[in-house]
Amino acid sequence: MSAEIPVIAVTLDFDELPSFIHWKEMFRGVAAAGGTPVAIDCGKLRSDLPGVLRSVDGLLISGGVDVDPALYGGDRNDPRIQRINPARDENELTALELARSQEIPILAICRGAQLTNVALGGTLYADLARDWAGRTGHWHSEEALIRSLHSVQIEPDTLLSQWTGTRGAVSVNSQHHQGLKTLAAQARAAAHTDDGLIEAFEIEHERIVSVQWHPEVLWRSEPHALNLLRHFITGTRRDDKHASAATGRKVPYRQGFGDDSRFGPSAVGGERGT
């Protein structure tokens, strides 16, 4: 039986995968939620992103290293700043801009949420342990990401509430030492910790949802995490004629793939410069 399977571009840095021990769960999660994941290596500068983004239905900006503080008026010499990769920042900022211009839904996770906020004019806490007086612990090990670690309060009447199928307190995982400080003007806060830190935001009319936790790892144990992935992917389905007329891009739904083949993601390598 044939089926329309939305293609989801997943941005990441291939060189970071050895330290992200759950990266396969991210791709399995996208597949389990009904999408075909395509890995986009953003670790080196690349010039083919316009063509790549014309061939997908949704954009997932994944977690990773710190956002370059120069992008939000911070200090690159701050000793609390960890590894940065300006090439990845530039590639993902370009992908974000292209997705918005083509009305492609966006799910931004952890670093991806921070980068999206910065791209829209917001700022970050460079290090929560130093710069935020809250009580919630946000930095945990890679191994700990498979379980819930603290709670967030999801605001009612938000796109995030619709996509997760819940409102109020939910349990989430966490691994970020930076955080959202000043929220971009056009964004709406969609979740907070009990001590007031913004943990998610959205731009509903653009179908942009950004979260600081990792639903792409937590989807097996927390229904709200799988719901979030499913509704993001469901939201990429649009009438073919409307999509073509509105954006001028090809509608790349993949036809006729079975469940097993969806678990083998395609990969689009970058231009491997020095």
> Active-site residue among 16, 42, 92, 110?
110
State both tokens at 8. 């989801």
* C-beta of residue 223 within 8 angstroms of C-beta of residue 172: no
* C-beta of residue 95 within 8 angstroms of C-beta of residue 42: yes
> Active-site residue among 16, 92, 202, 216?
216
Contacts of 239 (CB under 8 A, 6+ apart): none
For residue 144, report the phi and psi dihedrals to the nearest 5 degrees: -75, -15
Q: Verify whether residue 216 is a known catalytic residue.
A: yes
Q: Give the single-character DSSP code of 80.
A: T
> Active-site residue among 138, 214, 224, 231?
214
Residue 37 CA, chain-centre distance (Å), reads 13
Q: Verify whether residue 202 is a known catalytic residue.
A: no
Instruction: Tell me how many degrees the CA angle 9-57-85 measures, rounded to the nearest 5.
Output: 25
Q: Is 171 exposed, middle or buried (0-12, 13-18, 19+ CB in 10 A)?
A: middle
State both tokens at 165. 């199928």
Q: Residue count of the chain, please give it.
A: 274
* C-beta of residue 192 within 8 angstroms of C-beta of residue 153: yes
Q: Verify whether residue 206 is a known catalytic residue.
A: no
* C-beta of residue 115 within 8 angstroms of C-beta of residue 68: no
- Among all residues, which ones are annotated catalytic? 110, 214, 216
